[in-house]
Structure 1
């Protein structure tokens, strides 16, 4: 039985040190993993949001892609969020040391952790940020493949 592997330390460190800049109606808010953000939490409370996620469809699998590709997949993410009747604010993921290009993202309001994980997995992201109501932003890794034991269980339950 295999278990999901953690992100490489350098990639995990990059996610944790990134600045997630949300362009809210009240102005820009810089979000950092593990740091309580009172202005953001106040805005989420005003919006009656039970939780929020910072999601992107850009650069799947942490592989830098062309702007045209990233624009197309980001547009697909927006369409998915519209179908789910979810609200969002534009955002951008920033590398404070400048090794990684700025990455368009969205702060999605009132999304559950499970919905956020599904969207991140759908767009082949390795991680996403989740902010519980009045909580600290948390990095959540996304398992792109099911462990072998789960895949065997799924295969055995296929009716054909």
Structure 2
């Protein structure tokens, strides 16, 4: 399914198993490949047909300092706002491995192309993107 990627298989598997939590009024848990009715309602409430779950933390899955990650997340938030989006705070967390949860954003209306570009800009291996069907999908970037 993900052949040809530079990303190690075990890392891809961890991304697939991770739960992606959105907070605030959008409080929901996204899981890759599972339809999410709350996400569908969020799309409708924001009058959009897609969304992305994206982070700027730990580029290329290298564990970085809290200070670096916080600065990267702030830069991503500023970029999203500059582009006219309203990011919703979230966190991506694998339930059984020791990798720390990564601060993230759920971004209603962020197109696949724009999400991929931002993910690449911030050195990410992958993003989670959802179309009109509100089924999160893992999109590898390298």
TM-score band w.r.t. shorter chain: over 0.9
For residues 134 and 90 of structure 2, the distance between their equivalents in structure 1, rounded to whole angstroms, comes to: 19
Contact 2:39–2:134 (Cα < 8 Å) also in 1: no
Structure 2, unaligned runs of 5 or more? none
TM-score (norm 1): 0.83
User: How many residue pairs align between the two structures?
Assistant: 140
Contact 2:57–2:103 (Cα < 8 Å) also in 1: yes
Q: Which residue of the partner structure matches residue 56 of structure 2?
A: 57
After TM superposition, the structure 1 stretch with the greater mean CA deviation from structure 2, 36-45 or 68-77, is 36-45
After TM superposition, give the deviation of residue 46 of structure 1 in Å.
1.5
**Which runs of structure 2 are paired with 1:1-160 in the superposition (5 Å)?**
5-26=5-26, 28-143=27-142
SS of 2:23 mapped into structure 1 = strand
SS of 1:45 mapped into structure 2 = helix
For residues 5 and 94 of structure 1, the distance between their equivalents in structure 2, rounded to whole angstroms, comes to: 22
Q: Which runs of 4+ in 1 moved over 6 A?
A: none
For residues 70 and 87 of structure 1, the distance between their equivalents in structure 2, rounded to whole angstroms, comes to: 20
Structure 1, unaligned runs of 5 or more? 144-160
For residues 88 and 110 of structure 2, the distance between their equivalents in structure 1, rounded to whole angstroms, comes to: 13
After TM superposition, give the deviation of residue 98 of structure 1 in Å.
3.6
For residues 5 and 35 of structure 2, the distance between their equivalents in structure 1, rounded to whole angstroms, comes to: 28
Contact 1:86–1:110 (Cα < 8 Å) also in 2: yes
For residues 19 and 117 of structure 2, the distance between their equivalents in structure 1, rounded to whole angstroms, comes to: 23
Contact 1:50–1:111 (Cα < 8 Å) also in 2: no
After TM superposition, the structure 1 stretch with the greater mean CA deviation from structure 2, 65-74 or 4-13, is 4-13
For residues 7 and 134 of structure 2, the distance between their equivalents in structure 1, rounded to whole angstroms, comes to: 24
Contact 1:16–1:33 (Cα < 8 Å) also in 2: yes
Work out which of the two has the higher radius of gyration on C-alpha atoms and give 1 or 2.
1
Contact 2:21–2:29 (Cα < 8 Å) also in 1: yes
After TM superposition, give the deviation of residue 6 of structure 1 in Å.
4.3
